[in-house]
Amino acid sequence: MSVKGANMPGKKSVIWAYVLWLFGGIFGVHHFYLRRDKHAFVWWSTLGGFGIGWLGEMFCIPRYVKDANEDPKYMQDLIKRMIQNKKPPFSMNRFTGMLMVGYSWGQMMMLAVPPDDFWGVNFRYLNCLIPLVAALGVWTVGNIGRERGSMKWPVLAAYAVYPLRYYIYDESMWFTFMVLASALAFDSFSKRWRRSPPKRTHVVRRIVVLALCAGLYLAMWCSYLYFHGTITDSEGDEVPVYEALHHFFTSPWWLDVKQCLIDTYQFAQHHGWYEVWKQIIDLSDPHGEQNAYKVLDLGRDASQQEITSRWRKLSREHHPDKTKPEHRREAQERFMDIQRAYEILSSSKHRRSRRNKKDNSDQ
């Protein structure tokens, strides 16, 4: 095992590690910074080890930084431990982490399987992957840091105990037995020291690998929500998510929106996306002109003289001093809207008139 100097390139900072731990620790950002990618993904998928692990790392970060920097004194102590112990000693924290992550991932796999036929296909055969995913969670936690191990024994133990589900109807009990057997098998037969330094990979490759793993995990979440989730309507009735989505995509509102998007795309093909953007800006009414015309009850082709005449008439009708005291507040709000609308339209007319004069003079 190599022992590098403290001035190795890419040396990690304890301060930065604590900052990332504080503001993104539950997502494993500080572990990604320290090149502990498996630890980072476990923290992301369990929100910081269900919050408990994130808090417990307050005093572990300096050790993680020394490990990432391969601090000479830290490496010497690690070599002594490897010489004294043929295999890594039992750690309750790591063993508990293997149980929690294996149980969490295995449960997510079980919930992601559709309970009924979907598109005429029975997907319940995917339940055979539950022990594999649970063992994968055990293996991932067991391979964090300076410890490693093969996946063979935890997978074999998980599949050996999995048939208990047909004899023990308490789901939490047989699931616990399966994950416990997998963790014990890893700790007893697979666990070894990681004697060679971890291979350095480019940050882009690390991000791609983590993104693929996150995509698979999110796919299980989406499958669970789609097949098992429900939506409560205004009358208190629960509707399955897949039925609600089917009804949504066949609703008149969505069909109108879909047709609007199609028309917009076809318009853009003939006139260009810039014209589409101009229409969107005009429809958004950035200057408030459309609402101002509506307040004064005028058309868009009204002249400045008509705007002024209408403003004076409405101002006299809705002046707060001419209304009863109990309606004065409403009249005052209406009066202010009329004044604001007149100012907007007058400014717009003046701005266009000035622009037209400038264009004519330029020509």
192 Cα distance to chain centroid:
35
**What is the pLDDT averaged over residues 327-346?**
85
Walk me through the domains of the chain, giving residue ranges and CATH numbers: 1-84 (no CATH), 93-200 (no CATH), 291-363 (1.10.287.110)
Q: Please choose, from the candidates 133, 137, 139, 138, the residue with its C-alpha nearest in 3D space to the C-alpha of residue 112.
A: 133
Looking at residue 61, what is its pLDDT?
Answer: 93
Strand partners, 231: 239
**What is the pLDDT averaged over residues 46-71?**
90
Element counts in the chain: helices (H) and strands (E): 17, 4
Q: What is the mean pLDDT of the chain?
A: 86
Strand partners, 193: 147
Q: What's the CA gap between 105 and 216, in Å, rounded? A: 11
pLDDT in tens, 98-127: 999 999 999 999 999 888 777 778 888 888
77-85 own/partner pairs: CB under 8 Å, 24+ apart: 78/1, 78/146, 79/1, 79/3, 82/1, 82/193, 82/195
pLDDT in tens, 220-274: 999 988 888 888 877 777 777 877 887 888 888 888 888 888 988 888 888 888 8
* Radius of gyration, CA atoms only, the chain: 33
Looking at residue 169, what is its pLDDT?
Answer: 84
Instruction: Report the Cα–Cα distance between both ends of the chain, in Å, rounded.
Output: 81
Looking at residue 7, what is its pLDDT?
Answer: 41
Q: Determine what percent of the chain is predicted with pLDDT higher than 70.
A: 94
One-letter amino acid for residue 109 of the chain:
M
pLDDT in tens, 273-297: 888 888 788 777 777 788 888 888 8
